[in-house]
Amino acid sequence: MAGTTSPVVDIHTHVYPPSYIELLKSRTSIPYIRSFPPSESLRLVILPAEDTESTSRGRPVGAEYYDINKKIEFMDKHDITISVISLANPWLDWVPAEEAVKAAESINNEVNEVCGKFPGRLFAFGTLPLSGGKEVIVKEIARLKDLKYMRGIILGTTGLGKGLDDPELLPIFQALQDAKLPIFLHPHYGLPGSVWGERANDYGHVLPLALGFPLETTIAVTRMILSGVFEKVPELQMILAHSGGTLPFLAGRIESCIEHDAYLKAEGKLGKGRKTVWEILKKNIYLDAVVYSEVGLKAAIQASGEDRVMFGTDHPFFPPLDEEGGKWASVETNYAAIKGALGSGTSAPIQNISDELHQFDGLKAASPSGGALV
C-alpha cells in the first residue's frame, strides 16, 4: 500500500514448486495438470467440483503458480514486504504412503531453498507427509523446526483420514506445540457435491469456493474444539484461512449449543476446565484477513482480537479475469476492508495486522539486521 512504512506480511500466499508441478503433470485424476484439446494451454484441476465441463476443468496454470520471481513481482506490485509461502492444496494428501516421506522432504527442502534466494523477504509453512503415518510425520516436524525459513506447517482438514478431531493426531499436535510451529489450517475438500444441487454446473466455481471452503474450515475446527484438542494441547496455535470460515460469526451459536447439550452434560464435558469457543479464539487461534469485506473482518477482529488477525492475499488464486499487469482487485479489496475495519490511520491497519507475526516464537526469524521477522 503506497505510503506504508511498516512491513506488510502476507501469511496466506501459495506456491506449487516446479517438482510438484511435474508430479501433477504425470497424473490423470485429481489433482492433475493437462491441456484439453483443441486448446494447448495447461489447466490445473484440483477440486472435485471443478473437474466438470462448466468450470472448463480447473483454471489456467501460468508461471505465477510456480515461478518464485512472479511471487516477488506480485509482492512488489502490492507493497508486500514479506511473504510466508505455503504449498497450495491438496498438498501431499494424495501421495501413496510409501512415497510420502521422500515427497515431503524434497518439497520442504525445495521451498526452504527458494526462500534463501530472497533473504528477509520469504519464509514458509512446511508440508507434512500425512499419508506416511504418525512416526514419520513427527520426524518431519522435528526436521522442519531446524530448516532456516520454516515458520509453521500448512494442513488440510482430513488429518490422517478421519478429520482433525482424531485422537491419533494428538501426538502430532503436541509435537507442533513443542516445536512452536503453528498450523495454518486451509480447506480443500469443501462439502459433498449433492449439497450444491442439480444446477451446480451453471455456477462456475462460486459455491465450492465461497461456501464449501469456509464451511469445511468451520466444521474442522469446531470438531477439534468439541474433541478437547485445545484443553489437551493448550498452547497449540492455529492460523485459520479465510478469517476462520464462519467461525467468528457462529462462535456464539456453537457455544450455546454446547452449553445446552444434555449428552455433553451427562458425559461430564461441560464442567470446569472446558475452554469456551471464545477463549480458544483468543488464545489458540489466529485468523487471516482474507475475507474481502469490512463486515467479515470486523467479526474476525471482535472474535480473536486485532492482534490475532493477519494480512493475506491467497496469491496466485483469484487473479483479475480481464486486464493484466495492474494491481489485483482481490488484494485491493482486502486492503480496503482492513483500512475500513480498523479505522482512520492509513498505515496503521496493515501494521497492526502484519506485525503480529512476531508474536509467535515459532515465527521469529533472523532478519538481515539480526532482529525479529517484522
Q: List residues near ligand URA by CB under 6 A.
A: 14, 46-47, 88-89, 209, 314, 317
Q: Is residue 216 near Zn ion by the rule CB under 5 A?
A: no
The answer to whether 121 and 368 are in contact (CB under 8 A) is no
Which does residue 43 touch among Zn ion, ligand URA, none (CB within 5 to 8 A, set by kind)? Answer: none
Give which of ligand URA, Zn ion, none residue 13 binds (C-beta under 5 to 8 Å, depending on kind). none
CB count, 10 Å around CB of 285?
Answer: 27
- Continuous segment of H or E residues that includes residue 313: none
CA 121 to CA 7: how far, in whole Å? 10
- Within 10 angstroms of residue 266's Cβ, the number of other Cβ atoms is 9
Asked if 314 interacts with Zn ion (CB under 5 A), we say: yes
Out of ligand URA, Zn ion, none, what residue 89 binds, judged by CB under 5 to 8 A for its kind, is ligand URA
246 makes contact, choosing from Zn ion, ligand URA, none, with CB < 5 to 8 Å by partner type, with none
What DSSP line would sit under 139-182, residue for residue? HHHHHHHTSTTEEEEEE-S-TTTT-TT-GGGHHHHHHHHHTT--
**Minimum separation from the CB atom of position 342 to ligand URA (A):** 24
- Count how many Cα atoms sit within 13 Å of the Cα of residue 321 in the half-sphere of its side chain: 1
Residue number with CB closer to ligand URA (4 or 89):
89
Give the integer Cα–Cα distance in Å for 208 and 301.
Answer: 25
Q: Please, what is the minimum distance in Å from the beta carbon of residue 281 to ligand URA?
A: 22
Q: Which three cell numbers stand for residue 14?
A: 501459495
| Residue among 88 and 277 whose Cβ is closer to Zn ion | 88
The residue count for binding Zn ion (CB under 5 A) is 1
Q: How far is the CB of 89 from ligand URA (least distance, A)?
A: 5
Min dist CB 44 to ligand URA, Å, is 9
In whole angstroms, how far apart are CA 30 and each of 64, 245, 266? 21, 24, 44
In angstroms, what is the minimal distance from the CB of 11 to Zn ion? 10
**Partner interacting with residue 310 (select from Zn ion, ligand URA, none; CB below 5-8 Å by kind):** none
Q: Give the residues lining the site for Zn ion (CB under 5 A).
A: 314
